[in-house]
A and B are shown apart, each in its own frame.
Chain A
Amino acid sequence: MSLKSFIKSVRNSKTIAAERAAIRKESAKIRTAFRDVHLDNASRRTNISKLLYLYILGEPTYFGQVECLKLLASPKFVDKRLGYLATMLLLDENQEVLTLLTNSLDNDMKSSNQYIAGLALVTLGNVASPELARDLYANVDALLGSPHGYLRKKAAIVAAKLVNKDPDLSEIFLPRVAPLLNEKSHGVVLGALTLMRAIYNNDESSRETLKIQIPRLLAHLRILIATGHSPEYDVRGVPDPFLFVSLLSTLRLFLANDENNTNLEPLNDLLTQVCSRIDSAKGTGYSVLYETVQTIFTINSDSSLKVLGINILSKFLTQKDNNTRYVALNTLLNVINYEPLAVQRHRTTIVGCLQDGDVSIRRRALELTFAIMNQQNVRVLTKELLAFLQNSDDELKEYITTQLCIACNKYRPDVRWHFETLISLLKLAGNHFSREIVSNVLALIMQNTDLELTKFLVEELISSSQTHHNQFALALVTTWCVGEYADIVLGDKVTADSLVTLIETFLNISTFEQADAIQIKTYALTAILKLSARASSPQCIERLRKLLVSFQSDYNLEIQTRAIEYAEIFGQPASIRKALLERMPAPPVKLHEGIPLVNRGTSKPTKSASSQPATTGDLLLDLLGDDETQKEHEAAPAPAKPQESTLDLLSDIFGSSASQKQPQQPPQETVIPAFADEHLSFEIIVKEIGSGRASLEGRVRNLGNSVVSNISVLCAVTKQQKLQLSPIGSNTLAPGATSSLGIRVTGQPGAKVKVRVKLEYNAGSQVSRQFDSALPMTM
């Protein structure tokens, strides 16, 4: 059967089973043929070509490796051509049979037939291992001096490959660079550039010698610029854009950190010429202009050239072609630090890209919009971003709320504007706020000393909540404010009764996730208690009491406990309550560093030196405080005093009973670090353990520099024990952020607790980790 009929039989198979059968049958036939010691090369060719088809189909081909080597050892060109082709595809540098190839390669590279030598060269370039590199470098070196340009260009690239495999070979090939650069053939020059870059990257001691050649590279660049039309290399009006790109990127590599090199001045001139010479109306020119812009920003170039570079990128942004806009935004993100003002000038174009059809362009435009934000444009850009938020993809919303809150903290023109922006954000994307940012917002409200403004804010929050009550962050912030600032808003417009109704509405929303609903409840509890000290009508107080009592049978233990404790305070005389439930002292607002949205692989300088680096763990993670928060509060110098006084008040009433003295403090926790890799860490926090029950918290923290998404945590315990798992608070974590889930284990008292955890997440690619963790104590 010929190759053609084999391909046909596979293609004509009606079912997958029939296809498999055809493949298996032919595969068996090929094996049988290869076992024949008298197989002639014509049949061997047919069988190897079928073997290659098997390779494309993804079938095993290892049994034919030696046959390929037999075929290429034949003296006939047709045999060699297929033999080498198959060897390149089926073998790589890790195969043991490669050692059998050395002799054939050695002989063929010495062949007087340049095409046979070419085949051997290309094969070496594809499969070279460090051993082959050492065995055959002399052949490659000889071919670099071959009279045939066809072989010299191949040999140069193969030499580059060998240098990558064995850096010691750099000094062998270094003297070969100069003569290659003198040639006119673009193929040979391209090869020489590849070789130069390989040597430069592998051997530091050769770098100065390589740099001597820079004027030659500039000469090639000058010729390209001056070339009008070259029929051989023309790609839609641009003379060999590939050589342009290779020359520029080589120059960039050599001159990146060499600020005083004498070649910089002529290069600056040439770059300006490239910009004016290359007609950007044609697509091909863009690849050259793009490389030129990157070169401008990598080497020490004139400021005017940098502005020119940014203008080129902004011209890219107005193009219809998605690819051009994509690279322009990417590059602008990388260069904004060099010429921020020049980028600012193209604000409208950048903002326009927020409406692009391509989500990756929208993402980059979004990041760039935040990058160009400053005191002067914060109002107009915020307006654009709020409009964008209305129609944006859900996955971008948390990024926008976070970044915009950070930016507003930094650049706000006045507090009222800031508050208005926050309310708009909460209304539009209240379900896409991270915990840290909610805490930040609350801290900000508490810091404001202008009570009129606070009144305006709280009234706005309350009225927004009527229409947007299912926005979680809005509900949370409003609940908090209702408790804290009821006294300043109560009046004609807002009655205590309406506030109680509002809290009830929040509590009845069923669309919140479980963890969110619990948080609303804890906030509501405090609001109820505080409201009881601000409301005057007995009916209203009675409603609050009933609401509080309803929590005393909540299925969540913590809420239940807190409700009972609060009921105690609720029962105290009004005067004591008033003193107890005074307004919270303002905590400091934490500054967060902006997070990058797009992972660009290359590191870039931090956007702003003025903002403090983000520290992990937020002061206000949970305003109602577990003990960790409490401790940090005490540690923070500013609010320490008022905090203490509140505590004193509490201790006066409740005497010495420890559990009542600090009702907000749960028992001492044990933290067990269970796992950590470069992206995430997982800790198990033992909250309560004993009498056959263990209440644990799993805490995932993002240790890396990029956002980790799709986090899922699965747990298992031994068969004798039962496990209850609450969903993770947030399955996407910004760098430094944490998220928790509840783990409850019940079983035989006194038994050991062992948890097996399967942690899956996406940090660029999907990762799955499994680990076991045993608690140091028993149930």
Chain B
Amino acid sequence: MGTIEANGKTYETDEEGYLADLNSWDKDVADVMAKIDDCDLTDSHWEVINFLREYYEEYQIAPAVRVLTKAIGKKLGKDKGNSKYLYELFPYGPAKQACKYAGLPKPTGCV
């Protein structure tokens, strides 16, 4: 367990830096998590993060990267639905890294 400070609030995380409580998430903590990884969140990042939050809301799981890639392609266009685009945004792995900033648990099947 650890904690992250953002904008005067404290957020609990698990040992890998994922938020302990999905409901404690807000945009401030996402920005701080990204800064820790030397990443500045742009609109393109937010598109993916928001997509993941909607996916989780609907299905109660974080999608596998293959499923994420396909679904992004369908929702945001073919130019974005490929691993090259997603890995450029999230070099530590789109599913793992983007899910972390979105406040979701680590995707099922990720080790």
Partners in one complex: no
Binding site for B on A (CB under 8 A): none
Binding site for A on B (CB under 8 A): none
